[in-house]
Structure 1
């Protein structure tokens, strides 16, 4: 499993908040949810992306924006439109004066907005949890990525748009997987740009000596790799391999392997049924004690403390988002819905 494939596995790819948004102008939404990662695709119409420290960027139908990091930002039909709705942590939706408008804005199964049809239609996926494997990849990205329709050759946006409004058994898992696939496609497209600055290990994947060694370590972290064995697999001397690996990746082979193993362990430890012993075997440590010692040395906390903190964060997120998810799934409209956007935001 390499860094991109890592997005398909583990807690970082589960329970994402996915929504279809239907909007008629004027509209402006301030995003203060502090989610680590979000993906927004324009299906119809347009939007302006406005970050506090950047010039506004206009997106048209087929364009996608990926937002990395927990900074606040906003989307609007026009940069001059005043904020009307604020999205808080846990995807809690209020007017600017704090009135909760979750049910008033519901437009059907996983659909939300101020219109039944929408001059502008968006698909938004928000990752509520950030895994360690994900963090290793995303820290190499700018805070705002915009990919244009002509750069993307994928049916995933259309497929996601069809599936998001379905209310079928297992649909949450289907949507999580589709969102993951779309994100991987977007990141791969971004990193393949000539002007992009991918992480060193990503660029090194194409090297005939270092690339195969990286894939061996990433796909088989449980194996007791040594520099000598990796060099032998690559068909070069130990010294030549170590030097080439360090030059291209930016750290020695065993340092990279340790970091990769601990990142995987950090994510696997958050699995409900995982034990320290099973995780240790999966990432190449002979005993739970060996993993615990390495984990604390690298992270400064024990695996047990890491797991407890992760569980507390996940529980808090689930508690706050439950009401939002339930209200957008049901699709019932209240009589007051038509006035919620206009009267309370004026």
Structure 2
């Protein structure tokens, strides 16, 4: 892991990701209410209107990619204001407005995927996310991040479209990995847009000196970094490096390093069976006691409490003291 976005996909790579691709003939309208914490939508063919969280409908043109954050339902329709004709629930279970279970074959609005007469082809991907590293990325996003279509279709999206038409062994694993690529490429495209107000940790990677230091930190949290050693790697004096880092990130280098060590430790505690001693060494602390002291100071609870809450299915109400 050498940056925050890479860390996102390293820890929460898709497994059995939900893909929905439907050819739709007007009039049509679908409400997705499966509570996915992160989802992507794109129109492979034709245009649509997207409504999320009760806000005003926005156009979703062919080739646009929309990132939706949060479990709120969203509607996609051929016209703004059209009432949902199909409700999709958890587990890809669909019902009519009256609650009657339905399949694609039951719906007049659904046609064959290869039918040239189909008015629109909608692709939706639900993405499972959780953990401190994920929170850093998701809290930097608006509820809806819409990336307009590029002159050339993104390669991951083109490959997903081709794979969805197959029914061969290994299909789901390939789709999972392609979703990772689509998510990352779309996030980068969004953060590179002026209106995104990209977070400091993303903008700072463009700085030659501080960007190198960030890659070193994220690439090797266990190394006993100091301001002096990071400054030397960046080719700057200690004082100048510390000033430049603080100016770009809004906090001193060692404070940033501590937060990321604790974020990583929190995710390892929640997602693995590794001992506290093993995790402490992995993220740069001498032993479990040193990790516990830093963990409590940063997140407000002890590592054992964090792990117990995660194992119980609860979401620890923790956040770093500073989160640029």
1:240 counterpart residue number: 240
Equivalent residue number for residue 278 of structure 1 = 278
Paired residue for 1:249?
A: 249
After superposition, where does 1:196-275 map in structure 2 within 5 Å? 196-272=196-272, 274-275=274-275
After superposition, give the CA deviation of every residue in 1:110-161 in whole Å (9 maximum; x if it has no partner).
xxx8333343212211113323222212211221122222366522111011
1:65 alignment partner in structure 2: 66
What are the superposed Cα offsets for residues 290-320 of structure 1, whole Å, 9 maximum, x if unpaired? Answer: 3334334333344444445445559xxxxxx
Aligned counterparts of 1:310 and 1:129: Cα–Cα separation in 2: 14
Count of paired positions: 307
- Distance verdict in 2 for CA 1:60–1:143, change over 3 Å: same
Structure 2 counterpart of 1:292: 292
Q: Tell me what 1:35 maps to.
A: 36
1:114 and 2:110 are equivalent in the alignment: yes
SS of corresponding position for 2:194: coil
Tell me, yes or no, if structure 1 residue 51 matches structure 2 residue 47: no
Partner residue, 1:319: none
Q: Residue 111 of structure 2: SS of its match in structure 1?
A: coil
Alpha-carbon offset, residue 89 of structure 1: 4.7
The question of whether the paired residues in 1 share the 8 Å contact of 2:209 and 2:234 is answered with yes
Name the counterpart of 1:163: 163
Greater RCO between the two (CA within 8 Å, min separation 6)?
1
Q: CA offset at residue 105 of structure 1? A: 2.9
- Alpha-carbon distance change, 151 to 286 in structure 1, aligned in 2, over 3 angstroms: farther
Is contact 2:63–2:153 with CA below 8 Å preserved after alignment?
Answer: no
Q: Distance in 1 between matches of 2:33 and 2:210?
A: 41
Confirm or deny: 8 A CA contact 1:12 1:131 kept in the other structure.
Answer: no
| Aligned CA distance change for structure 1 residues 14 and 298 (closer, same or farther; 3 Å) | farther
Q: For the residues of structure 1 that align with 2:86 and 2:58, how far apart are their CA atoms?
A: 20
The SS at the match of 2:60 is: strand
Deviations along 1:30-56, one digit per CA (max 9) or x if unpaired, are: 233332211112111222101345332
Alignment CA distance shift 1:151-1:222 (3 Å): farther
Give a deviation string over 1:51-88, Cα, whole Å, max 9, x none.
34533212222121111223332111112321122234
Of 114-123 and 266-275, more deviation after overlay is shown by 266-275
Partner SS, residue 195 of structure 1 = helix
In structure 2, the residue matched to 1:105 is: 104
Find out whether 1:176 has 2:176 as its counterpart. yes
- Structure 1: gaps (5+ residues): 108-112, 315-346
What TM-score, normalized to structure 2? 0.84
Cα separation, partners in 2 of 1:62 and 1:305, compared to 1, 3 Å: same
In structure 2, the residue matched to 1:321 is none
Q: Does 1:123 align with 2:119?
A: no
Taking structure 1 as the reference length, the TM-score comes to 0.79
CA distance in 1, matches of 2:243, 2:11: 33
Instruction: Measure, in 2, the Cα distance between the counterparts of 1:20 and 1:97.
Output: 23
Other-structure match for 2:133: 133
Secondary structure of residue in 1 paired with 2:4: coil
Alpha-carbon distance in structure 1 between the residues aligned to 2:42 and 2:73: 19
State the alpha-carbon separation in 1 of the partners of residues 292 and 93 from structure 2: 37
Q: 1:270 to 1:173 in 2, by over 3 A?
A: farther
Contact kept, 8 Å, 1:21 with 1:124, in 2: the verdict is: no
Distance 2:164 2:53 in 1: 30
Please list the CA deviations of residues 148-190 of structure 1 after superposition, one character each: whole Å capped at 9, or x if unmatched. 2236652211101122344444433322211111111111112
CA positional deviation for 1:19: 2.4
> 5+ unaligned residues in a row in structure 2: which ranges?
315-324
